[in-house]
Amino acid sequence: MIATCPPRPVSPLRPRLAVAAAALCTVAQQTAAWHLGPLGDRWRHTVAVAECAAELAGPLGLEADVLVAAAWLHDIGSAPAAVATGFPPLDGARYLRRELWPVRVAALVAHHSGARFVATARGLGRALAGYPRETGLMPDALTYADQTVDPAGRRVTPDRRRAEALRRYGAGSWYARADHVRGPHLRAAVARVERRLGG
Ligand SMILES: [Fe+2]
């Protein structure tokens, strides 16, 4: 069960050191709470994305531990401890590898929600490409969860989420510049998940 209570004041464990003590997603939850808990809406968004991922894993036949861990950590690049380039998917992936998280989890974070399109627009495409990009329902499910939860943690439609993000970032933002390729990518990922859920 996913906790929605305020984060506990305990420092995060390194996953390789904690592997005998807790599932990956439990360590991910603790890590996210430590770093994002003080950030208000970012934490509320993260909790709701993790809840959505946990709901999707079973019906989609995905490894829940990996998907939910990636969901807890998908915005870890916004944490002060991780910020470097200012592009959260890349900063998050780099932070996670420094902290000994599995490559698969870091790579899911690096590429979630069409990050490569924005990275290319920002000149960070090569750096992001250093993380293997998984295909299939696992990254689709993570993107679905992120794109159906707004910045305050409320469930929304993907279209509403995308429109809100474009408004928030602004017409001249990297997100707006990449939207002509990122937008269709997000819609396709959401459609694949809905098709599988509907079937
Ligand atoms: Fe997010």
Q: What digits encode the pLDDT tens for the residues 19-58?
A: 444 689 999 999 999 999 999 999 999 999 999 999 999 9
Interval between CA 18 and ligand 1 midpoint (Å) = 25
CA nearest to 72, candidates 58, 87, 57: 57
Interval between CA 123 and ligand 1 midpoint (Å) = 21
Interval between CA 36 and ligand 1 midpoint (Å) = 12
Cβ burial, residue 11 (10 Å; 0-12/13-18/19+):
exposed
The answer to whether the Cα torsion of 44, 49, 50, 56 is positive or negative is: positive
Interval between CA 82 and ligand 1 midpoint (Å) = 15
Q: Using an 8 Å Cβ cutoff, are 106 and 128 in contact?
A: no
Rounded Cα distance between 132 and 143, Å, is 16
- In the chain, what are the domain boundaries? 15-198
Interval between CA 45 and ligand 1 midpoint (Å) = 7
Angle (CA) 162 84 40, round 5°: 55
Report residues near ion ligand 1: CB below 5 Å. 75, 146
Q: What predicted TM-score, i.e. pTM, was given to this entire model?
A: 0.90
For the domain made up of 15-198, the CATH class stated in words is: mainly alpha
Query: In this model, does residue 14 exceed pLDDT 70?
Result: no
Summarised one tens digit per residue, pLDDT across range 62-85 is 999 999 999 999 999 999 999 999
pLDDT the model gives residue 6: 45
Summarised one tens digit per residue, pLDDT across range 113-151 is 999 999 999 999 999 999 999 999 999 999 999 999 999
Q: Which helix (H) or strand (E) holds 195?
A: helix 174-198
Alpha-helical regions (H) of 19-129: 24-36, 41-60, 64-73, 88-98, 103-111, 115-121, 125-129
Interval between CA 147 and ligand 1 midpoint (Å) = 8
CA nearest to 155, candidates 84, 9, 24, 53: 53
Q: Which is more confident, 130 or 6?
A: 130
pLDDT the model gives residue 13: 61
Interval between CA 151 and ligand 1 midpoint (Å) = 7
